[in-house]
Amino acid sequence: MNLYHLARPALFLLDPEKAHDYTLQSLNYAHRLNILPFLAGPIPNHPTKLCGLNLPNPVGLAAGLDKDGKYIDALATLGFGFLEIGTVTPLAQSGNPKPRMFRLNDSMAIINRMGFNNDGVDACVERVRASRFYQSGGVIGLNIGKNASTPIEEAVNDYVTCLRKVYDVASYITINISSPNTKNLRQLQSGQSLRKLLNDIHKERKALVQYHSKNTPIFLKIAPDLEGDDIREICDALVEFQIDALIATNTTTSREYVDQERYRKEAGGLSGKPLKKQSTQTVKAFAKLLEGAIPIIGVGGIMTGSDALEKFHAGAQAIQLYSGLIYRGPNLVKDCILASESVTFDKY
């Protein structure tokens, strides 16, 4: 997979969204030719338990890279212990106007304002069911959100709709209320909005457990731009409404550490290396307050195996990658798995 470093200069000449699509299509093509295992090489094994799920290793793919489940089998070949697909919404939507993704190369960062562009939840569920990775028992999380046209006061209806549709097929379900690219979405992270959402999810889940005879874990994904009171409020709600795990974090609206970058003033969420410190501090703050009540999946700014180790030492039981893959390529997966081998995880 060092071939990626040869291809990256050419890819970086393309518009970032076009490069993203081209890379995934090329990966899919290599998968169909059955050459990915040869290119990826042997994958280290570090079995991990997470919310009752058996993972071959604690390094996952973050939501956003494969929004529609079109590349599941190709991505699984790269060695991820689990994949998270989405964000999906009840209805298909095109997302925000282009251009909506920007590279900040000197900072090894990305700004995106994609806006939950996806083919809709039904199409995604069909692709998940059709994938060999799913059929062979691979762990696939489905990340769900609300349509842009749905008023924030009615957002809970979109989440419940998606919950019903993905419940049977998903290994776990992530409630995404932390993207900065859907208007007012982050309002759902606090106060009565948070409590109403999680209460309705909790009640619907009880009905789905009975109907499907299956208890699918539910995760909550939060932003790094939270104050102390917000963090305490979320911790209380996680426990009260029996959320199974926390994903920390989504992208940030902060532009700290990227003052010199050409695209620093573009609207959207910042990810990549500049997010590492803020994300890790958020993991640490939640771990301190939760005291092991639920596991934390650490995301944000992981560019090396050492960065992954920082997340584990901060309190994460698993990690997810996205922007680091753009700058480092698929070898980052293996580096992070190897780093995780020095960590002993609690049994969740």
State the catalytic residues. Answer: 179
Q: What angle do CA 171, 196, 251 make, to 5 degrees?
A: 60
d(C-alpha 159, C-alpha 182), whole Å:
14
Maximal CA-CA distance, the chain: 55
Q: Enumerate the H helices of 15-151 as residue ranges.
A: 16-32, 36-40, 72-76, 121-130, 132-135
CA atoms lying within 13 Å on the CB side of residue 86: 30
Distance of CA 216 to the CA centre of its chain: 17
Which DSSP string corresponds to 170-198?
-SEEEEE---TTSTTGGGGGSHHHHHHHH
- Hey, how many other C-beta atoms are within 10 angstroms of the C-beta on 22? 15
R_g over Cα of the chain:
19
Buried b (16+ CB within 10 A) or exposed e, 180-189: bbbeebbebb
Shortest CA distance to 1 belongs to which of 53, 78, 81?
78
d(C-alpha 176, C-alpha 87), whole Å:
8
User: Who's near 294: CB < 8 A, 6+ residues apart?
Assistant: 238, 239, 243, 244, 245, 246, 348
Shortest CA distance to 345 belongs to which of 322, 313, 321?
313
Q: Which residue has the tokens 């995604």?
A: 124
d(C-alpha 285, C-alpha 244), whole Å:
18
Q: What is the 3-state composition of the chain as percent helix, strand, coil, each rounded to the nearest 5?
A: 45, 15, 40
